[in-house]
Structure 1
Amino acid sequence: MFSPQLSNRMMSASPRPVAFRLFHLMLVVLTVATCAETLAQNKDEGPLYMRTPFDRIVMKSGQKVNVQKLRLPWGGRTVPATLPAAGTFKARLLEGPNTLSEYDISWSQVARIDLFEDMIMQEGVQLTKDKKFDDAFPYFAYLLKEAPQTRGLDQAISTYLQTNALAAYDQHEFDRALAILGSLYERTPNSRGLSGAVDTVASKIIEQYLAEKNYKAARLTLDVVDHTFRGLDIKVVNQWRGNFKQTASSQLKEAERLINARQYLEARQAIAEAVGVWPEQPGIVEMQERLQREHPIVTLGVLQRSPSKPTHRLDSFASTRAASLIAPTLVELRGYTSEGGEYVSSVGQVELSDTGQELTVQFVDAPSGNPVETGLAASAFARKLIEVTNPASDEYDEALGTVIVEVSVEYPNLVHIKLSHSHVRPEALLTLPMSPAVGQLSDRGIFSISEQNNELTRFVADPDHRGAIAELHEVAFADDEDLVTAVSLGTVDVIDRVPPWQLPRLRANKQVVIGTYKLPTIHVLIPTGRSPITSQREFRRALCYGIDNETIIRDVLLAGNDVPGFQPVSGPFPAGLNTVDPIRYGYNGQVKPRKYDPYMAIVLSSAAWSNVQKSQGIKEPNPDTPLPKLKLGHSSDAVARTACNEIVKYLEPLGISVELVELSTEEMLMADDLVDLKYVELETWEPVVDARRLLGANGLLGEASDYMMLSLDRLDQAENWNQVRNELFNIHDVASTDLPVIPLWQTVNYFAYRSALTGISAEPVHLFQDVAKWQLEIRPQR
């Protein structure tokens, strides 16, 4: 039984976080196999329960004689309290030369008989008193297996469990204490004081979980206690369930007050508290629905946090993702046909003149019907075009400046754009971010970043220009396991990227929908110019030969699966899903990716290093001088992180030492001063425009060879698709030779969202393209 002081001692303990696992102690199953195996190895050494069974006769003279197991005259294995006063019994010695001979022993000379099982139990009891519970455990396990009828065994085990439970409690191991109490209840359900002990221990565990705000685990504890100790007078279950229901009710009342006061974020937190404490509380769904109607919020899980000032970039998925929400472009790429990209606009119509040398943008009427607002939008867009086509401007875009020659406004809603020559896809020139004046014509809402820290970025819509959602909360996760778990459990509504190796896990979840982005991305290494060796073309070629792209794709990224669209590439433009994919129009299939050749990589890297040393004034470079260690920067994206680790494994044995540096989104955008190479994903989805933006002297790379500049100039003058393809194929060939970027592979990319979130396209170009249609259905939780 438990002492009267047990509850007081338990109540005075201070809790510490302990993961609760309620498992019954499997006394028989867990240990007997181990005991039997050890006993077979050595029967006469080690603890008593591992030795060959024997009994002990204690003579009145004090002599102790170990004998083989006795066959007692009265049968069974129980020694009476008073031994016979006369007569004899037979015994065989345990050790010595005559172990097969039987000896007659007079009862009158025997003080007592210790049976083997009694001796084992006595040792187990003593070890229990000494609080050596792990040592005592196998003694009782042996008896349960070999001698379950041992006198006093049940009481000894009950005492062992009680003492062990109390010791675990005193050590603040509340989960273990409760598990032991579960075993005690299973054996002796009427143990005195057991119900009070269970109440005390379970309360401590629940208090720990509440301190951690792990309400689900606290409720699970109650469920397990209720199930395990069914039939016992347990007060903790009803008491705590009552507390949870009362807390949830109070939080709902607070949420209603906050919604009435239009303090929506605080109301959301109050509802979340109610759901966490007691999700079955009446009124939760109704309160969630009201909040979602008045102030809908969607939570996005990411690995790459948005920059504080996002812009549309070819080399930053995270920056472009955020920019597409707070500064969507006037026209957006939505797909591909044999004639190039398909573009749509949420604020107007774009028409091309019959001559092919003038674009007209007709803006839609402002929601207010005021033509002045429409006129302001048209004027703002015209000013933007003039700015980006002015070579003296910091916003100068060479791809537009070489084509657009004149911009004018026809009040109230027309903007005329004259081109220097016909362009095969002039709409692609208008993928410029909308100013607030233009954005107010759209139905998607005007968002801005209202709060940002390492974990959370809040995108809040202007109340006067709100679309389907009022806020989007971007939550950053440390790794893809946590990210995928979050969408699986409903902690977030949508995640922007799913690594391919996580797809099987999410496909098994019926509450999660997996989407595929319509267009692939190109993974490359970009030299920053920080190290002189990366300026050597031979070294850049060495990197191509030294990385086994095919193996990394097949065995690492795809885990042995074959997925169309994942493939090595030889240039910076998309290869598409197959050879007839229209997005492939800029990819020269005649230029093959370089095959893995470590010997060639060593030769080329050595030659490059020799050239660098000579340029530094060393006339006869020492071939044994190691190459300088390079820093390779990558984002926190799971594929980038994994791929860069694999790249290092390939390059290190070749004498190319690489240090990985994981960078934030902002750091990736200014990585030229931090690393020597950076791993990026390119979104060069309209090569006819993006080629110059990436490879031009004023483009992303900041420099270009003369031959590349000549090729880009010829592309700008192309007036039909045949000319465009020919010039892009030539640019691809030049890029493969000069290697301003080191091409690695193309990937198809995935996202995932809870099925309660509707309005997302099955294959969007970017995640937020249909954000104006997003709706989040409220479903009961448990």
Structure 2
Amino acid sequence: MERLFVFVQAMICLTDRGNHPRQSAHCVWLWAAVMAIACGGAIVGSGRYAFAQPAGEAVAIDDEEAEAEDTRPLYQREPFDLIKLDEANAGEVIKVVPVKRPLPKNPSPTATLEFSRFDQRNRKYQVPWRNIVEVKLFESMLVEEAQRLTNEKQYDEAYRFLEHVMNYYPQHPGLQEAVNEFLLNNAVEAFRQKKYIEVFSMLEELHQNSPRFRTETVLRGFDQAANALLKHHMDEGNIVAAQMLLTRLESSYSDKQVTAIANWRGQLSSMAAVKRDAAKKALTDQNMREAYKLVQEMLHIYPNVPGGPELAQQVANTYPLVYVGVTQPAADYEPNQIENWASRRAGRLVSRMLLEFRQPGAEGGEYAFPLGTITLSEDRQQLMLRVNSKINGVTAPLTGFEVSRRLIDLATIGNSDYTPSWASLVSGVQVSNVFDVYADFRRPHVLPQAMLLTRFSDQVSSPESMDGSGSYYLGGKAENEQQFLLKPNDPFARPGQPKEIVERYFASAEEAKQALMRGDIDVLDQLYPADAAKLRSRSDLEVRQYAMPQVHVLVPVSDHPYLENRNFRRALVYAINREGILKQELLNQEEVPGCQVISGPFPAGRNEVDPLGYAYDSTIRPLPYNPRLAFALALTSQFEIKTLAEKKGEKIGDMIEGIPMPEDPDMTDEERKLMEEEAAKAKPVPPAKALVIGHPATELARVACQAIQQQLTSVKIRCSLKELPLGLTHDPENKCDLLYVTAAVWEPIVDARRLLGPDGLAKSNNPYINLQLRKLESARSWKDVRDALHDLHSRVAGEMTVLPLWQTVDHYAYRKSVRGIGDRPVSLYQDVEQWSISPQVKTN
């Protein structure tokens, strides 16, 4: 009955084929079924039919209907399997949709395999296993093709096939054997081409993954590759690479397995022994820098030379020396300079402060008194400083009388360290029992400690002098290096503290990062924001974040007439795509918490409840990037500036070139003609001076300012850049109109005046700004402080006293051989007395 049904359906299809061309292929298969039945072919059905197609006629008809042959490599095609039938079915090979895996190992002859033809996916067929000669799976075909390509030395293409199988069919039983043969054959060919690194890598992978695969052959080839690679490194003078390779071989293989180990161990050990003996002599002669240098060279050649590790530890204990990589060298040494990163960093070494900012707290910063303890009375109207008579067993450098004198200096008009806010607060200073100093206040103050970030003495010592208040003094200076030496008998020194610190300057952040990874330096003081995440993956390095963010602003520093116009300053901010520069240019698309665009001059904190942001009003949103509005505002301000100048009888040129002065719509023809005649007689007014934007000689500032210049130019605002001398953050020639400033606004209560006041960076004479500053300094509670700072934020955002850009969170990195740096210092050398170092081995 079933056979009759198939026959009838085939006849209907063939007679109707001309009217329904799309059914042609289907009809051919039905007719093929009829032929198969007539020839005794296998057919099993229960509402579904499976059949073997006669090879001749059916294939020919199918070729007429099929699409063009797929010429792509097999691994790029849609997966399929092949079923080969027995002679009773004319040895038919059927291309099918991948069958269910795994296939049965010993199927019953009467059992059936269900499948769908590749070109008839919606129909299910069954064929008895007794009629199946072979089922070739797609993954087996991929492996066979990879083996063929390997034999033909087409290794790149063979790898693509194997990679596809490893990704999608990792359990295929023939995969590992094919990969092994591929690696061995590829390694042999690479050795002939003297590609020793490739040979080494392939044979090592082969031996590790399949240690029983042709072990003798693999290890013999691996030994030859290791020997050739070590010789290559030595011939190139790359001893570090040779040492690293030998150390790796020693840790994974025995001398019997790899004979190159013993051969090269002897050579490198002999070379290291020469350095070891020279270091011993330098140590005996008390030539400590030379001993340190020779020990490092010894470790780089062969760290396991007999007696080497012990000598290295002896030298490290006797003369601990640390190399610090910097991208901003110090030109001066002022530890409290708000806008100069390098000066703050290096200043901590040569000059101690009376009080030191240690870390941010719940309400303002937390401060330490290096000479003893400090206590604020409960009514906040008295500050007591207790000086310890001895520090680390050494007599303290100051007594209570010297400390009281410094407090009086800060309140004395005419003194170089005169601080108006302290002078208005303190009512008297007295000393009790030589070491207790009391400062009485006229009114309560929430954080008077913040005003005492000043030197021990008003007598500023040369950094080269050992009379300074810091633990270090300047030593020798070589090209791109500055030496800092620990002072003998320094009261703050601790056992194991570095006796010498060498700051090494790098012009680019990438060079500094590579030097740290190689081991040429021990510490890197500032990372490019995007590099921090990358270095965290290194097992030999630690990456840490500084406790306080930095605020980036553009500060007007000249009397340029356009910068005096509020609308023009706002136009500059609208013209700068701050979000784009920060995320794309500076962060390289990395998400760094705390890095964000800001609307004011104070740190924003990481969220709205972060105490770091107590001065920042988060309800004031940053101005959006809007170049059209920027252009319109610039034109408006240009008209305002020129009109005001004409009323004063002055002439000011255009800042926006190519834009004519708008006419008065009520002007008569006679008035217009008269104005044109006067304009023809008048001398042409040259364009206004282009803005000069100054920036420090750092990569980050350079990239940011180049982007700012490009965006200002795009809205027709003429400007140029000036890179400041190395280490400086101000223009000694006073030719800049705007300065790119990175400010450490750690304590806005006092730093607001240092940034915005008449004597601050912005040198603002705006009466409203100065009124807010006085209000801030007279605040009696933290609520009053926050209200005053938020009002100041609002006023600055409205007036654009400084042009806010963004806030960044900075990181530092160090090798694990350095200890005691701390997790979140506010500056690198904050805890330098706690540092210690152990011997290190260079890495490649």
TM-score (norm 2): 0.62
State the match for 1:459 in structure 2. 484
Question: Does the C-alpha gap of structure 1 residues 658 and 252 become closer, same or farther in structure 2, counting only changes over 3 Å?
Answer: farther
Paired position in structure 1 for 2:621: 592
1:624 to 658, 661, 667: 658
> Which among 544, 549, 552 is matched to residue 523 of structure 1?
552
The answer as to whether partners of 2:240 and 2:842 remain within 8 angstroms in 1 is no
User: Max radius of gyration: which structure?
Assistant: 2
Residue pairs, 1:208-223, within 5 angstroms: 209=237, 214-216=238-240
TM-superposition CA deviations, 1:613-651 (whole Å, max 9, x none): 563822896962766433322224443233223222322
Answer whether contact 2:574 2:630 (CA < 8 A) is retained: yes
1:382 aligns with 2:404: yes
Partner of residue 347, structure 1: 371
Residue-by-residue CA offset, 1:742-768 (whole Å, 9 max, x unaligned): 101111211111122222322222222
CA contact (8 A) 1:671 1:678 kept: no
Structure 1 residue aligned with 2:302, among 259, 274, 278? 278
CA deviation vs aligned residue, 1:255-276 (integer Å, no higher than 9, x gap): 2222233321121112223233
Matched, 1:315 2:339: yes
Contact 1:735–1:741 (8 Å) recurs in 2: yes
Residue pair 1:380, 1:438 contacting (<8 A) in 2 also: no
Q: How does 1:253-652 map to 2 (within 5 A)?
A: 253-367=277-391, 373-374=395-396, 376-435=398-457, 446-465=471-490, 466-467=493-494, 468-529=497-558, 531-610=560-639, 613=642, 615=645, 617-618=650-651, 624=658, 628-652=689-713
How many Å separate the matches in 1 of 2:350 and 2:458?
9
Question: Is 1:305–1:664's contact at 8 Å kept on the other side of the alignment?
Answer: no
The CA deviation at 1:366 is 1.6
Conservation of the 8 A alpha-carbon contact between 1:348 and 1:361: yes
The aligned counterpart of 1:709 is: 770
Residues 547 and 825 of structure 2 are in contact (CA less than 8 Å); yes or no, is this contact kept in structure 1?
A: yes
CA–CA distance in 2 between the matches of 1:745 and 1:619?
33
Q: 1:409 to 1:360 in 2, by over 3 A?
A: same
Native 8 Å contact 1:529 1:672 kept in 2: no
Bigger shift: residues 269-278 or 537-546: 269-278
What SS does structure 1 have at the residue aligned with 2:609? Answer: coil
What is the identity, as a one-letter code, of the residue corresponding to 1:618? K
> 2:14 — aligned with what?
none
1:769 is aligned to 2:834: no
CA–CA distance in structure 1, aligned partners of residues 733 and 347 of structure 2: 22
Deviation (angstroms), 1:293? 1.0
Aligned-residue sequence identity (percent) comes to 30
* Correspondence for 1:736: 797
Which piece of structure 1 moves more, 670-679 or 648-657? 670-679
**What is the aligned length?**
590
Taking a change above 3 Å as real, the CA distance of residues 711 and 269 of structure 1, as seen in their structure-2 partners, is same
CA displacement, residues 11-32 of structure 1 (integer Å, 9 cap, x when unaligned): xxxxxxxxxxxxxxxxxxxxxx
For residue 201 of structure 1, report the CA deviation from its aligned partner. 14
What SS is found at the alignment partner of 1:407?
strand
Q: For 2:806, what is the secondary structure of its paired residue?
A: strand
The Cα shift of 1:252 comes to 1.8
Question: Contact between 1:360 and 1:414, CA under 8 Å: does it hold in 2?
Answer: yes
Note closer, same or farther for the CA distance 1:658–1:179 as it changes in structure 2 (3 Å cut).
farther
Instruction: Tell me the distance in 1 between the aligned counterparts of 2:455 and 2:721.
Output: 34
Distance 1:296 1:658 in 2: 49
Determine if contact 2:603/2:616 at 8 Å carries over to the other structure. yes
Cα offset, 1:218, TM superposition = 6.8
Structure 1 letter corresponding to 2:401: S
Deviation at 1:361, TM superposition (A): 0.5
Q: C-alpha separation between the residues in 1 aligned to 2:834 and 2:562?
A: 50
The code of the aligned residue for 1:455 comes to: N
| One-letter amino acid of the structure 2 residue matched with residue 289 of structure 1 | Q
Distance 1:591 1:294, change over 3 A: same
Which of 704, 723, 726 aligns to 2:784? It is 723
| Aligned-partner Cα distance in 1 for 2:610–2:324 | 31
2:344 and 2:416 map into 1 onto residues whose CA distance is 19
Q: Aligned partners of 2:692 and 2:448: how far apart in 1?
A: 40
Partner secondary structure for residue 720 of structure 2 = strand
Cα distance change of structure 1 residues 770 and 619 upon mapping to structure 2, 3 Å threshold: closer
Match 2:275 to one of 247, 251, 255 = 251
Offset at residue 610 of structure 1 (A): 4.5
Letter in 2 for 1:361: L
Contact 2:353–2:453 under 8 Å retained in 1: yes
Structure 1 residues 244 and 538: alpha-carbon distance in aligned structure 2, compared to 1, 3 A threshold: same
Deviation at 1:290, TM superposition (A): 1.0
Q: What residue in structure 1 maps to residue 758 of structure 2? A: 697
Distance in 1 between the 2:236 and 2:629 partners? 61
Structure 2 unaligned segments of length 5 or more: list them: 1-151, 155-190, 200-226, 249-259, 462-468, 660-686
612 and 278 in structure 1: CA distance in 2 versus 1, 3 angstrom threshold = farther
The alpha-carbon distance between structure 1 residues 504 and 620, as it changes in their structure 2 partners (threshold 3 A), is: closer
Q: Distance in 1 between matches of 2:617 and 2:543?
A: 32
* Closer/same/farther in 2, CA of residues 367 and 762 from structure 1, 3 Å limit: closer
Distance change (3 Å), C-alpha of 1:350 and 1:523: same
Aligned CA distance change for structure 1 residues 749 and 667 (closer, same or farther; 3 Å): closer
TM-score with structure 1 length normalisation?
A: 0.67
Q: Distance in 1 between matches of 2:407 and 2:479?
A: 35
Q: Is the 8 A contact 1:632 1:679 kept in 2?
A: yes
Distance 1:343 1:241, change over 3 A: same
Query: Alpha carbons of 1:687 and 1:303: their partners in 2 closer, same or farther (altered >3 Å)?
Result: same
> Displacement of 1:720 after TM fit?
0.9
Match of 2:255 in 1: none
1:682 is the counterpart of 2:711 = no
Counterpart amino acid of residue 572 in structure 2? L
Q: Partners in 1 of 2:588 and 2:228 — Cα distance?
A: 49
How far residue 395 of structure 1 moved from its aligned partner, in angstroms, is: 2.7
Pair 678,547 (structure 1): closer, same or farther in 2 beyond 3 Å: same
State the SS of the aligned residue for 1:361.
strand
The amino acid that maps onto 2:694 is: G
State how far apart, in whole Å, the 2-side matches of 1:516 and 1:421 are.
37
One-letter amino acid matched to 1:331: L
Going from structure 1 to structure 2, the CA distance change for 1:181 and 1:315 (only over 3 Å counts) comes to: closer
C-alpha distance after superposition, 1:186-213 (max 9, x if no partner)? 9xxxxxxxxxxxx99999995763xxxx
Aligned counterparts, 1:186-205, within 5 A: none
Please tell me the residue identity of whatever aligns with 1:641: R
Q: What amino acid sits opposite 1:752 in the alignment?
A: A
Residues 547-601 of structure 1 deviation map (CA, whole Å, 9 limit, x = unaligned)? 1122223333333344331221111111101000112111122322111111121
Query: How many angstroms apart in 2 are the aligned matches of 1:607 and 1:528?
Result: 23
Q: 1:696-726 deviations in whole A, cap 9, x for unaligned?
A: 1122333331111111111111111111111
The 1:238/1:732 distance shift into structure 2, 3 A limit, reads: same
Q: 5+ unaligned residues in a row in structure 1: which ranges?
A: 1-143, 147-177, 187-198, 225-235
The one-character-per-residue Cα deviations of 1:49-74 (angstroms, maximum 9, x if unpaired) are xxxxxxxxxxxxxxxxxxxxxxxxxx
